[in-house]
Structure 1
Amino acid sequence: MTSPEQDRKELVEWQRNPPAGFKHKVTDNLQRWIIEAIGAPGTLYANDTYQLQVDFPEHYPMESPQASVIFLPPAPLHPHIYSNGHICLDILYDSWSPAMTVSSICISILSMLSSSTEKQRPIDNDRYVKNCKNGRSPKETRWWFHDDKV
């Protein structure tokens, strides 16, 4: 079960050694982090700024924070990021490990953005977003990880 001490420990580590291109926006809620992400230099997203929301589940880190690692509007245009902010990234779901941290998630997301060759929505964006009405979590989606190029 996640505890305030564990959340604080991860936050202290983040403040001591934040991943390049990310900044934690301080709030009173240790269970929900808002993180500013800045696109890496030399990529399609260079200097673009986005906000990630990370909600920690009750059993974090044994359970991934995938229920809510989402981009707040406006989400970046990317083949693996839906317009509602949901992210199709295997480490948030099938490949989660309790050894991962918010920092490692952020680095993976930045890598995914940096490797993209075009700014576009996933081809099934409209259908997916329509099916996510009424607050459906990305955790309820059966993801199909078929494209490791972006």
Structure 2
Amino acid sequence: MTSSSAPSRKALSKIATNRLQKELVEWQMNPPTGFKHKVTDNLQRWVIEVIGAPGTLYANDTYQLQVDFPEHYPMESPQVIFLHPAPLHPHIYSNGHICLDILYDSWSPAMTVSSICISILSMLSSSTEKQRPPDNDRYVKNCKNGRSPKETRWWFHDDKV
């Protein structure tokens, strides 16, 4: 399954390729709890299965993340979205876009796919209710024609969900 919000694909730089190969080997040896990488031959797009943490609203629910790596990863953040159906969550839009600062303004090249996954699982786990963001319909309508979540000017104001 592919997403209509896939970024324009330029080949990965040598630095990005080396970094992703290293991350993939580390993931295979020590995957983060609650995640499975779906093996493909495409280093530039990873599909990762997410299993909701026990004792949370999302316990045993299964979702899929699509991670698209830009040419200059890790200097530039990957695009991370949930494939359909996206979880019902106050920071996850029905088109799979995720409002999480580390994916945008707070990105650091020190972050890895594993640390992104752990942050997303933490965000899911801390939610007290399953609902869409209040502006879901308007946002999704404005994202027609394949707009990337990286083109959005996110407003990070709520870290309690």
TM > 0.5 fold call: yes
Aligned-residue offset at 1:6? 2.2
1:141 aligns with 2:117: no
Aligned-residue offset at 1:5? 2.6
Aligned-residue offset at 1:88? 0.1
Q: Secondary structure at the match of 2:50?
A: strand
Q: TM-score, normalised by structure 1?
A: 0.96
Aligned-residue offset at 1:4? 2.7
Aligned positions of 1:39-54 closer than 5 A: 39-54=52-67
The whole-number CA distance in structure 1 between the counterparts of 2:19 and 2:74 is 9
1:32 aligns with 2:54: no
Q: Following superposition, which runs of at least 4 residues in structure 1 exceed 2 angstroms of deviation?
A: 3-6
Aligned-residue offset at 1:7? 1.6
> Deviations along 1:95-126, whole A, 9 cap, x unmatched?
10000000000000000000000000000000
The whole-number CA distance in structure 2 between the counterparts of 1:91 and 1:4 is 21
The whole-number CA distance in structure 2 between the counterparts of 1:98 and 1:6 is 10
The whole-number CA distance in structure 1 between the counterparts of 2:29 and 2:74 is 20
Aligned-residue offset at 1:24? 0.2
Q: Secondary structure at the match of 2:145?
A: coil
Gap regions ≥5 residues in structure 1 = none
Aligned-residue offset at 1:46? 0.0
Q: Secondary structure at the match of 2:120?
A: helix
The whole-number CA distance in structure 1 between the counterparts of 2:106 and 2:45 is 22
Gap regions ≥5 residues in structure 2 = 1-15
Q: 1:102 aligns with which of 113, 133, 137?
A: 113
Q: Secondary structure at the match of 1:106?
A: helix
The whole-number CA distance in structure 1 between the counterparts of 2:83 and 2:38 is 13
The whole-number CA distance in structure 2 between the counterparts of 1:4 and 1:98 is 14
Q: Secondary structure at the match of 1:98?
A: coil
Aligned-residue offset at 1:17? 1.1
> What percentage of aligned pairs have identical amino acids?
92
Give aligned pairs, total: 146
The whole-number CA distance in structure 1 between the counterparts of 2:102 and 2:43 is 22
